[in-house]
Structure 1
């Protein structure tokens, strides 16, 4: 994708500050994209109204939907909407993530924007079940927003997996890099690429005393550096914006993001679901737990959401 044309901004009915709305307006003004401001609602007391006639139940539901639409309109009145093309959608659904993904698919949106929150007393983000479902199942870009304002001199950091042997790994690397460039252009900032490589297992030195861990690390680092440079050549990214660091991605990426004062980290997510996700998790999801800035999740080419419209 070379530009944003349609943005789906998910508003937070339980918060006064609408971080997703603010980021959506910021991007829409730069990209001239159309924005849909969405809320998914459901009142479980509705389940207790089965004794009412069908038209009475429908009237109750429609009243709640209309109240939420009025609330969105009131929220928008507090923002500068000049030159913004937008509409409002209120969906009645008992599973918010399904409602969001169904809307994104049917409306052919390029990007979903949703706010995240901080854990009490901690700097790390708190990702809700809805966030995780969107990261795993949404077919388009998903931007989880932390700060309402872009940090001064904020950079964009893209995590690249250079050791993938399959074409879908290389394809995802390109999609991640292209997304980083697109957002960097909109935000008038610089994209950086990072690749993490594993160090020598501690047990090797203990079991094989003659094993040269220094040469091993140097050889692995050189291999990853070469692979990242080859990838970066397609985008004419200078070496000053390439980072090859020893360690696990969930350690390396958050630390580098903080050093660069990154406003956003771009990660590829493979969309693992079900038991394998609970047991193994995605590398991206381990990284997400430790990141303290906006996160843009990118799916592989041809990813099909398990959510059906």
Structure 2
């Protein structure tokens, strides 16, 4: 993330607290980025033939979207008075995440910010929630905001994979670290690097001895490229699903930065495994980036065309 000139923020009209907007405003204040506020939702009661004939349903949908646009304009007026450049848009989408991705492709933001809340396990398995879909298909960096405010000097932890055992493109580690460093600079925060070198026991019984020095050598380029100290590197021998949440708590971190990579020949992004298992485990915000070039293939990656 070399620049941060435009931030798209998903507004939840039914929520009193707009922590995603608060954090986007903080980033915009320090970067000079313009803000775009978006409400995109869908109500099945307003579909043609559900309760209303097509003409009535269309009129009600238009009124619904117009009310949201008016709400956004009221919010934008307050933010503009503080010196920010703010635009607004309200959309009707079924499902909403597809319209949001379409908006990202047309608007070209450097960052999409959305609130994320705890999901029940069955919902995660069925991938029915909007944030799971955005994790897979959003072509720009995506910041999923939890309910934890940022302190004056937030801590950002970047999860890297220098061994590339998970087929992660080598450049993605640098991309992730650069994004973490950018956010840390904008918020006068701290940056830390995490890697789990966990090796499953042989035959499920005999522990594998890990050469920590070897893993430090593999991360040496990252430390050098971004002028980071050894104290900012955390190589853990435990499984990532245990060691990473534990590190985040020890550092009192605010944001976890991680990458999403393609897991199939169909270019379907299954953030997989790791990101999906961790999203509800950690209390921190999650910043997810795709490898360079995903924007050009996002429509092919979607299960159906936009």
Larger RCO, structure (CA 8 Å, separation 6 or more): 1
- Give the total of aligned pairs: 293
- 1:148 CA drift (Å): 5.7
CA spacing shift, 1:200–1:46, aligned 2, 3 Å: closer
Q: Is the 8 A contact 2:159 2:257 kept in 1?
A: yes
Please give the alpha-carbon distance, in whole angstroms, between the structure 1 residues aligned to 2:288 and 2:180: 10
1:291 aligns with 2:282: yes
Counterpart in 2 of 1:3? 3
Secondary structure of the structure 1 residue equivalent to 2:67: helix
* Residue number among 231, 234, 259 corresponding to 1:268 in the alignment: 259
C-alpha contact (below 8 Å) 1:270/1:282 kept by paired residues: no
Note if 1:222 corresponds to 2:216.
no
Change (3 A) 1:136 1:278: closer
Partner of 1:124: none
How high is the TM-score relative to the length of structure 1? 0.84
Structure 1 position 147, deviation (Å) = 3.5
Summarize deviations over 1:48-69 as a string: whole Å, max 9, x none: 4487464x55433221111111
Cα deviations across residues 70-112 of structure 1 (Å, max 9, x unaligned)? Answer: 2223444665741111111001111111111110111111111
Q: Which residue of 1 aligns with 2:92?
A: 92
Contact 2:20–2:115 (CA under 8 A) maintained in structure 1: yes
Q: TM-score, normalised on structure 2?
A: 0.85
Match of 2:34 in 1: 34
- CA displacement, residues 211-240 of structure 1 (integer Å, 9 cap, x when unaligned): xx5xx5242x22212111232211121101
Structure 1 residue 140: deviation in Å?
0.5
Deviation at 1:277, TM superposition (A): 8.2
| Structure of higher CA gyration radius | 1
Select which of 225, 244, 263 maps to 1:253: 244
Q: CA deviation at 1:205?
A: 5.4
Matches within 5 A, 1:112-151: 112-118=112-118, 129-147=129-147, 149-151=149-151
Q: Report the CA distance between 1:38 and its aligned residue.
A: 0.3
Partner of 1:195: 195
Secondary structure at the aligned position of 1:97 is classed as helix
Instruction: Report if aligned partners of 1:24, 1:113 keep a CA contact under 8 Å in 2.
Output: yes
Instruction: Report the secondary structure of 1:104's partner residue.
Output: helix
Structure 1 vs Structure 2 CA RMSD: 3.0
Q: Is the 8 A contact 2:76 2:87 kept in 1?
A: no
| Structure 2: runs of 5+ lacking an equivalent | 121-126
Post-superposition CA distance 1:161-194 (Å, at most 9, x none): 1111698521111111111011111111111101
